[in-house]
Amino acid sequence: MSKEYKVRTPGAVCGVRGTDFMVESDKNGVSRVEVYDGSVEVKDLKNKSFIVRKDEFVEVGRDGIKRPMKNSNPPSDLNSSLNPKILAKKEIYSEISKDEVIKRSQTEIQSAEYQNRKTAVDAFGYRVRMEEYVIRPSDNQFKYVVLNTRENRFDFGKILFTFNTALPSDLSQVTRNMMSYYGSSAPSIYLTEINSVMSNTVDKVTEEGTGGYMKPDNPLNPSVWTHQFTDYSFYAAGKNESNENGGKGRLLWSYSNGSYSYLGGIRPESLTLSPEGENILHNYSKNTYVDGTWISSDDYVIFDNGKVASISDFYLKPSEDKDSFIDKLNFQRVYKSSMFDDKIDLVFSAKLLKDIGILSIK
């Protein structure tokens, strides 16, 4: 007895016949099917169909299906040639071993638009070498990568930012207004999706936001626009959870169109502290879920010498230069969890965030 396997998108139905293939459906309702081996029958919503064979592709839009065409750029390893955006997202979630991360970084950093290397002391007194860079996987994306090397550990973070349209040559024109924008009309370029991972190469925290848009303070007479995601998910994984949800890990909480969902169905017990007092820039939070799973984070603002900054440090003297002050600051986030074998401990510089326009002191 044979079984038929079907893939459905908003505009197409694909009947699979023992094949290797890839399907992409974009926000405009256009589906594209590429076949790498075997064949796929693709139908539009009016039941018009074509058989798409090896090394061919077909597109299905709102006006129906088009004739299959030769794929001029078939992948050699069955990774999709559909779109660099798909490959960029796949890499964010799938490559976490030290060898994979370092190998990719050695290739990417040669074409990096921004990069920064420095050695500093973390909040616990350990020397850490930071290597950071920004590249553009496609014309409407940029990816930020930070690598941390200490004497006895390696941690890294990767964040992929996707926008509604192609980015300008000067990235800071977009990033400085990415979270908030002042004006009577919304910015023409805005963040639509974010994908990130932080890891010690075994344990990891993964975040995904989609449906990004700019929300006005007053729909009738707007003056400030604040970025929002319609959907957001937060995952964490140790060895035992690493294959859940397509490799993202265990879903701890998610947000969709105004509604939150939590692991176990109940809002976790939350604890938030300023362990060293309100003036010291060290914040601690911990969520404990109904099944006993917990995850905590420590956030520090630190100087290059490891001193944890205080609010009063930001009252600059008239003789102090803002750029120089920012360049000696770093941020440190430490995740711990009942699922982890070890902590995730990542330090990243204020300098690179300043260089790409995300961070400034006024």
Give the integer Cα–Cα distance in Å for 205 and 245.
13
**42: burial class by Cβ within 10 Å (0-12, 13-18, 19+)?**
buried
At residue 23, the pLDDT reads: 78
At residue 323, the pLDDT reads: 85
For the chain, residues with pLDDT lower than 70 are 1-7, 9-11, 13-14, 16-20, 26-28, 72-87, 360-362
> 174-186: buried (b, 16+ CB within 10 Å) or exposed (e) per residue?
bbebbeebeeeee
At residue 143, the pLDDT reads: 95
Helices (H), the chain: 84-94, 98-108, 172-175, 322-327, 350-355
Give the integer Cα–Cα distance in Å for 93 and 81.
18
First vs last C-alpha separation in the chain = 70
Give the integer Cα–Cα distance in Å for 114 and 130.
14
* Residue 56: how many other CB atoms lie within 10 Å: 20
- Write out the two tokens for 235: 């995952």
Q: DSSP letter string over 288-348?
A: E-TTS-EEEEEEEEEETTSPBPBGGGGS--TT--HHHHHHTEEEEEEEEETT-SS-EEEEE
At residue 68, the pLDDT reads: 87
Domain assignments of the chain as residue spans, ordered by start: 5-70, 84-355
Q: Which residue type sits at 102?
A: I
Distance of CA 22 to the CA centre of its chain: 22
Distance of CA 69 to the CA centre of its chain: 33
Main-chain dihedrals φ then ψ at residue 166, nearest 5 degrees = -60, 145
At residue 4, the pLDDT reads: 56
Q: What angle do CA 360, 361, 362 make, to 5 degrees?
A: 115
Question: Considering the entire predicted model, what is its pTM?
Answer: 0.77
At residue 1, the pLDDT reads: 38
